[in-house]
Amino acid sequence: MKIRFKNNPCYVRLSVFSIMLSLISSCGVSNLVIEGSFPTPNINKIPLSMAVYYDEALKEFSYMEYSETGREEINVESGESHINLFNAVLPAMFEEVIEIEGLDDPKVLEADAIFTPVIEEFQLALPGKTKLEVYEVWIKYNMRIVDSSGASLADWVVTSYGKTPTETFRSVEDGINEAAVVALRDLASSFSLNFTRIPEVQDWLNNL
Amino acid sequence: MLASCTSTTVDEFRQGETGIESDESVVILGRRQASDFETKSDFVECVGDRMSQGENAISIIPEREFVDAMFPWFEPRTAPLRASDLEQLLAEDVVAQKMNEFGIRYMVWVEGFTETTGRTGSISCTVGPGGGGCFGFGTWEDDANFDARVWDVNSLRNVGTINTDATGQSYLPALVVPIPLIARVETNACNRLAAQLKDFVNGE
């Protein structure tokens, strides 16, 4: 077997990439479960009892990245990491947090309000496609707060972004995982620091 | 692996008096706000490791430990961009308390990256039943450019900036076996920046 690399040592990496790509394609879709640990935010607690409802769409959220030819390439599962993140953030934000199984759960009567996070959009940018030496993840959320009767108290959009540089010997999966963890931390920081600055939340808190 | 030559330039711009007590420490943080690159944590860790070793060693708080303990105040989108922003940040009791616990006197913000340019050459490798080998020559240039801004947490001022620029040409001749002659520009930039920062913080 003869392997020839012309004019540029980049061809070495390109060829290794091509070989790996063909190996991946022969193995089918690569599945990635986002894993990371999230620190507890250092913020002042709001003296409220907040119920939180994670619906099935959030718990089992996954995103499929397609190749340029439309083939399924990488399946990114981030539902569990989102739950872990909110479970780390919410107890630091509120005096009491109650996880409920549904909006009709009797435990909602013990809470001041019900918080429901929803993922609206998930985007991934890979160095092989953007030609930038970073992995990037964007996530758009819809945050909803309703009272125990289901009436809307606040409804707003939060976007989070995370990136991580390419590194020698770092796999595509590790790069995506790192970028997703940065995006999740970004969500935690903007959500926890900006919560009381949302006009609808301010109105609600002022009327309590 | 053999190392080829690297040229390193260090510029220091001092804007205030410095000095550090034995019970005070320094935290080195990487800037990650730029859209097309980010300061690698390995480089930040390397500078911290070098500063905490040898003569006049300084107590360095690891970046990850600090950022996690201060969460969510030092994330890419929430970290202070100017030394004057520290005043507002330290007005938060939880932040001020953590900073006191760490004994932070100086906060060093490192920003930069290593760029590879001028890749040329050709290497051909052959593998057969009787063995294999490579033949050819490749070369490229690495340029590592890093800025370190030093904030005094006591005076809430930027007390100086140190810039390090290291360049080097790497070669990869291959005669059966490739013999890499790598210019260790990032390592040299790290060593020189750490040495300069250590002297700067010690007030020398």
The CATH code of the domain that includes B69 is: 3.40.50
- Please report the ipTM that was assigned to this predicted complex: 0.82
Residue among B143, B111, B128 at smallest CA distance from B47: B111
For residue B181, which amino acid is it? Answer: L
Q: How far apart are CA B25 and CA B61, in angstroms?
A: 7
* Residue B10, phi then psi, degrees to nearest 5: -120, 125
Q: A48-70 burial, b if ≥16 CB within 10 A, otherwise e? A: bebbbbbeeebeebebebeeeee
Q: How many CB pairs under 8 A join A and B?
A: 87
Range of the domain at B108: 9-113+145-165+186-201
| A9 closest CB neighbour out of B73, B94, B123 | B123
Strands B104-128 and B157-178, sheet pairing: unpaired
- Phi, then psi, of B152 in degrees rounded to 5: -90, 115
Helix or strand (DSSP H, E) at B7: strand B6-14
The answer to whether the pTM exceeds 0.90 is: no
What integer pLDDT is reported at residue A185 of this predicted model? Answer: 96
**Tens of pLDDT, residues A110-164:** 999 999 999 999 999 999 888 888 899 999 999 999 998 889 999 999 999 999 8
**Residue B1, domain member (yes or no):** no
In this structure, is residue B47 part of a structural domain?
A: yes
B93 domain residue, yes or no? yes
Residue type, A9: P
User: Which member of A5, A44, A163 has the closest CB to residue B122?
Assistant: A5
Whether a cis peptide bond, with omega within 30° of 0, leads into B72 is yes
pLDDT at B85 over 60: yes
Buried-exposed string B20-59: b where 16+ CB fall within 10 A, e elsewhere: beeebbbbbbbbbeeeebbbbbebbbbbbebbbeeeeebb
The answer for residues whose C-beta is within 8 angstroms of residue B198's C-beta and 6 or more apart is: B50, B51, B56, B57, B58
The 10s digit of each residue's pLDDT in B155-197 is: 999 999 999 999 999 999 998 898 999 999 999 999 999 999 9
Q: Is B38 on the interface with A (CB under 8 A)?
A: yes
Q: Torsion-angle region of residue A127: left (phi > 0), alpha (psi -120 to 50) or beta?
A: alpha
**Overall domain count for chain B:** 1
Q: CB-hemisphere CA count at 13 Å for A122?
A: 19
**Residue from B21, B24, B33 nearest B99 by CA:** B24
Q: Is residue B30 part of a domain?
A: yes
Which residues does chain B have within 8 Å of residue A133's beta carbon, measured at their own beta carbons? Answer: 37
Asked whether the predicted pLDDT for residue B7 surpasses 60, the reply is yes
Let me know if residue B175 belongs to a domain. Answer: no
- Are A192 and B72 in contact (CB < 8 Å)? yes
Contact B18, B24 (CB under 8 A): no
* B13 falls within a domain: yes
Sequential DSSP letters for B79-116: S-SSTTHHHHHHTSHHHHHHHHHHTEEEEEEEEEEEEE
Interface residues of A toward B, Cβ cutoff 8 Å, are: 1-10, 12, 39-44, 132-134, 161, 163-165, 167, 182, 185-186, 188-190, 192-193
| Integer Cα distance of B67 and A183 in angstroms | 15
Indicate the SS3 state at residue A33: strand
Buried b / exposed e over A183-206, threshold 16 CB at 10 Å, is bbbbbbbbbbbebeebeebeebbe
Tokens found for residue B108 = 């060093």
* Overall average pLDDT of the B55-78 stretch: 94
Assign domain A46-60+76-206 to a CATH class: alpha beta
The answer as to whether B106 is a domain residue is: yes
For residue A20, what pLDDT is reported? 53
* CA A45/CA A126 separation, integer angstroms: 38
Subunit contact B172:A9, Cβ cutoff 8 A: yes
> What tens digit of pLDDT does each residue of A20-40 get?
554 544 457 899 999 998 999
Please report, as a single letter, which amino acid is at residue B29: L
- In angstroms, rounded to a whole number, what is the distance separating the alpha carbons of residues A121 and B123? 45
Mean pLDDT of chain A, nearest integer: 87
* Whether A193 contacts B88, CB under 8 Å: no
